[in-house]
Structure 1
Amino acid sequence: MDLDDLVDEANKCPCNGPNKDGDFECEAKADKPVGRTSKDSGAEITSCYLVVQDRWGGVRTRYPIPCKD
């Protein structure tokens, strides 16, 4: 799965926003690991990630997050 595929999958999930910067945040879960969470979150391997997009759909950032389930 490449980065474009991850963004496409995140766009199928409900997004939150706009946030204080006017961006929209979509949480998604991939079929395989996409990276490690931050040190503050335990630096665990995860398949969950957050995509932040501007109002036109341009990707601002994407990063691994802890899975909620």
Structure 2
Amino acid sequence: ITLDAFRAGNIQVIVASDAMTRGMDIEGVYNVINYDMPSYIKTYVHRAGRTARAGRPGRCFTLLRKDE
């Protein structure tokens, strides 16, 4: 239901776990915000890959603490 609402433009934000980073192709994702730095670079690449699909622009932000 949430993905359908996002695709229809009825909601603008989805909060998701890493389970959504693989295999999901959702049009209209322009920004990805990481609230933590993943332990593995491959996980980061999959998260960031939810945006900028099919040659479209997109941005990925990561919030870090000083010790990260």
Question: Does TM, scored on the shorter chain, surpass 0.5?
Answer: no
- Between Structure 1 and Structure 2, the one with more strand by share is 1
Structure number, greater radius of gyration: 2
Return the TM-score normalized by structure 1: 0.22
Give the structure, 1 or 2, with the largest relative contact order (CA under 8 Å, sep 6 or more).
2
What TM-score, normalized to structure 2?
0.22
